[in-house]
Chains A and B, each alone.
Chain A
Amino acid sequence: MATLRERLRGPWRVAVIEGSMAPAILPGDWLVVNPLVARWPRPGAVVVFREPLGETLAIKRVAARAGDQIPFAGGYLTLAPDEAWLAADADEKAAAAAGSGPPIDSQRFGPVAAAELVGRVLFRYWPPRRIGRIPGRAAR
C-alpha cells in the first residue's frame, strides 16, 4: 500500500491511449486524476490502476466491489474486502468493429486488489469541446 507521500507524487494528469473505454473516454483524452484515494470508489467510477499482468498502467470502470458476487466461468466469484472487478466500457463487438480483439479487463486478469489502485478519474480537461465530467457507461 502506497504511503500518502508516494500518492502525492501522482499522477495527477494522464493521457489515454487505445479505445476500450469508448464512447465515454476516447484515445487522446487528457484526464485529471485524484491519486490520493486508497480504496476502490463506487461502481461506475473510472479508475487508473496497475494491471495484475505486467504492471501496465490501465484505465477501466469499477463494475463491482468487496462482497459483490460476479458471474464467472459458469459459477460465482465473491470479491474480497479490498478487491474490485474492473470492466471496459466497449464490449467485444464494439472492439471488433474497431479492429481490436476483446478488451483486456477483469474477465482476463481477475479481481484487482486496492494496492494496485493508482487514482480515480475526476474529469476531462482536453479536448476543449469535451471538457467536463466523464459520462456513465452507455447501455449495451
Chain B
Amino acid sequence: MFLTNAVLRFLAPRVTVRAHCDLPCGIYDPEQARIEAESCYKIIEKYAANNDPAYRTRALAIKEERAELTKHHLDVLWHDYFKPEHLEKVPNLHDLFWQANKQVSKVKASTDIADAKRLLELIDEVDAAWKATGGLEKTRVAGRPS
C-alpha cells in the first residue's frame, strides 16, 4: 500500500489543465441594462440644465461609464441568455441587439436626449423578446415583491 502510494505520487502530474465549461447563474433580466440606460437619459437632462463646466465634465464622464455598463448587460443577454431556438420567436433578434448596441455607442458620444430615448425604446424591445421567450418565468428567482 505504501509503495503504491509512493509510485502514484511520483506519477501524478504537477500541472492541471482545464477542459472547462461555463457555470452560468442563469439569472437574466433586461431591466439591468434599462437601469443603466435610464442613468444616461437622466444625466443628459441634468447636463443640459447646468452650465457649470466642472459639473458638465463629470456628467459626461459618468455617462460614458453608465453607457459601457448598458452595453455589457446587453451583451450578456445576447450571448448567454438567448439561444438559437429563440430565433424562431424573435427572428430579428441579432439585428435588434446590433442596433441597440450601436445606439449605446451613440448615447456615449451624444448629449441629445432623443438618442437616449431611442435607446430606452430598443431596450424595451429586447425586454419584449425576453418575455416572449419565457425569460420572466425562467430567469428570475420567484417570490420578488411586485
Contacts and interface: CB of A to CB of B under 8 A. Distances in A.
Contacts of A17: 16-20
Nearest to B84: A92
A18 B24 CA distance: 15
Interface in B62-90: 80
Chain B, interface residues (CB within 8 Å), range: 10 to 19
Contact of B17 (A15, A22, A104): A15
A57 B17 contact: yes
Contacts of A57: 15-18
Interface in B1-50: 11-24
A90 B19 CA distance: 10
Interface residues of A, number: 34
Interface of A: 10-11, 13-22, 25, 27, 30-31, 48, 56-60, 74, 88, 90, 95, 98, 100-104, 125-126
Contact of B11 (A19, A103, A104, A126): A126
B94 interface: yes
A132 to B, nearest CB: 16
A30 B94 contact: no
B11 A18 contact: no
Interface of B: 11-24, 80, 94
Nearest to B80: A101
A11 B13 contact: yes
Contacts of A11: 13-15
A18 B80 CA distance: 20
Contacts of B15: 10-11, 13-15, 57
B16 A103 contact: no
Contacts of A15: 12-13, 15-17
A26 B14 CA distance: 17
A59 B17 contact: yes
A13 B16 CA distance: 9
Given A11-B14, A30-B13, A19 B19 contact: yes
